[in-house]
Amino acid sequence: MEESALTPRTPGYKNKRRNIRVVYGLFVLAIISFVLLTFRLFTDTETTSVWTAKVTSYLSRAPGAMNSPPHLLPETALEEILARGAPILGHDTGCSRGKSATCDWMAKVPDHTKLVHMNIPGTHDTSTGNYSDARQAELIRYTGPIPTAKTFRCQERSIFQMLNDGIRVFDLRYAYNPGNDTIGFYHSLALLAPTTTIVDVLYGYYSWLEKHPTETVLLSFNHEGGSRMIEDEKLQRMILDLFSKATQDDTSLNRLKHKFWVQKRGELGTLGESRGKIILFQRFSYGKLSPPPDPTTLIGLDLGADRWTDNGDDIHLVYNANTNATAFIEDRYSITLAEGIPPSVDAYVTAKFDAITAHIEKATLPDSETADQLFWSFTSAAVLQDPTSNLVMYPVTYAMGDESTPGINKRLLPWLKARKGKRFGIIMMDFYDAEPGLVEAVLGL
């Protein structure tokens, strides 16, 4: 009789039982290994951190997840954006806290510290670091003939270099790029990078902050009226989309806003509240939009151009009417000499230096009315042809002087050192890197 299945009397039955025992043993071994590995993971701090990071990475990529992923974009996409932004951003070669006192200097400042009590170095006309005569010649087809490059250039360093040098406040002037489809960067008539957009540069700041989560960045945006590019409703709508508060809609833009932008209006707050994030200084208006945007949907400090006193050396701007929070600003950029003073590099540099130090001196005083207010000083000055001579003062002349005259930066360094430990507020500089130790002096290091 032919058997249709294995029975205990057949050789195949013994082989099957042997195979089952092997599989069962492997299964038990796998369970034991998993239990031991899990125990090790959750008792080893370093390993747990890695495990948690991997889980977070997976969850953040899940559909509908509101938490921002650990990386902004796929690596290749981010590289493409940063490459497009390189004429303004430069390249992030990194910095080391162990080697540089200014790399992550905010890490040593307590969380409870109010930003208005801090000394924060910044750069005026930040985006001009790559604007040379050669660069101007490349772009003449867009701008037509304009004055020499040193008329417009205020920096030698790129944004990434500035960040790694300890700069935390950035003066960015925007207008339409050629074609009026994207927003780029200008200084007066000088188009700085026709294929770099405001979004490219923002991604540069995001990528840097991901590597330096203890730091806070303050971005001052101002429409460059001298660019000869129109400022219309479309442009203001594009700016509003970037700089309005995040909503609960699960979009990439909202995730970036939640992660990287302080979502407050009219308030600076503490460093701890702002670490890893950007604070907006709004020096532009939404005057072309009708109806105007609801103020409760906006972020940052309203320091609108319509209220900014042109060429003022003691500007008072209330940015929160409810708390009377005020910005005290020195922005005397067009320098004139007192009657009877003969024109010279020294005379013009001295006039600007006196305006700067008079304003910073106010920040150092223990005045109860201004103790919790923002002080913001610009060491910069615009190009000027002396009306009575052939002397031309360029931004670099003010900052660095000439062969026989020390510039503002060289004069400011000992002045700040003599007041180490005092509050200076925000100090915006041109060509800061030409004077070693200037950033450290602002910080009181």
DSSP states of 6-41 as a string? --TTSHHHHHHHHHHHHHHHHHHHHHHHHHHHHHHH
pTM of the entire structure? 0.83
Other Cβ atoms closer than 10 A to 346: 16
8 A C-beta contact, residue 399 and residue 408: yes
Strand pairing partners for 120?
426
Distance from chain centroid for Cα 324: 26
Measure CA of the first residue to CA of the last residue in the chain; give whole Å.
Answer: 99
Q: Which token pair is 259?
A: 């992660």
Q: Tell me the three state secondary structure of residue 408.
A: helix
Which helix or strand (DSSP H or E) is residue 173 part of? Answer: strand 169-176
Q: What is the pLDDT of residue 31?
A: 60
- Dihedral angle at the C-alpha atoms of 382, 279, 312, 346, nearest 10 degrees? -40
**What gap in Å lies between CA 337 and CA 327, rounded to an integer?**
27
Q: Which token pair is 66?
A: 């509101």
**What gap in Å lies between CA 330 and CA 124, rounded to an integer?**
13
Sign of CA pseudo-dihedral 127, 130, 134, 138: negative
Q: Give the residue carrying structure tokens 């003449």.
A: 140
**What domains, with CATH codes, occur in the chain?**
74-308 (3.20.20.190), 309-445 (3.20.20.190)
Q: Which token pair is 106?
A: 């905010």
Distance from chain centroid for Cα 126: 10
Q: In this structure, what DSSP letter does residue 265 have?
A: B
**What gap in Å lies between CA 97 and CA 88, rounded to an integer?**
24
8 A C-beta contact, residue 328 and residue 360: no
Q: What is the pLDDT along the chain (445 residues), one digit of tens a residue?
A: 333 344 444 444 445 455 555 555 655 555 655 544 444 333 333 333 333 333 233 233 333 333 334 456 778 899 999 999 999 999 999 987 778 899 999 999 999 999 999 999 999 999 999 999 999 999 999 999 999 999 999 999 999 999 999 999 999 999 999 999 999 999 999 999 999 999 999 999 999 999 999 999 999 999 999 999 999 999 999 999 999 999 999 899 999 999 999 999 999 999 999 999 999 999 999 999 999 999 999 999 999 888 999 999 999 999 999 999 999 999 999 999 999 999 999 999 999 999 999 999 999 998 888 999 999 999 999 999 999 999 999 999 999 999 999 999 999 999 999 999 999 999 999 999 999 999 999 999 9
Cis peptide before 291 (omega within 30 of 0): yes
C-alpha angle 284-118-168 in degrees, rounded to nearest 5: 55
Other Cβ atoms closer than 10 A to 155: 28
Rg (CA), the chain: 29
Q: Which token pair is 401?
A: 């002087």
287 φψ region: left (φ > 0), alpha (ψ -120 to 50), beta (else)? alpha
Q: Which token pair is 115?
A: 């930003």
Q: What residue spans of 244-374 are helical by DSSP H?
A: 252-260, 271-274, 345-364
Q: What is the pLDDT of residue 27?
A: 58
Distance from chain centroid for Cα 121: 12
Q: What is the pLDDT of residue 30?
A: 57
Q: What is the pLDDT of residue 238?
A: 98
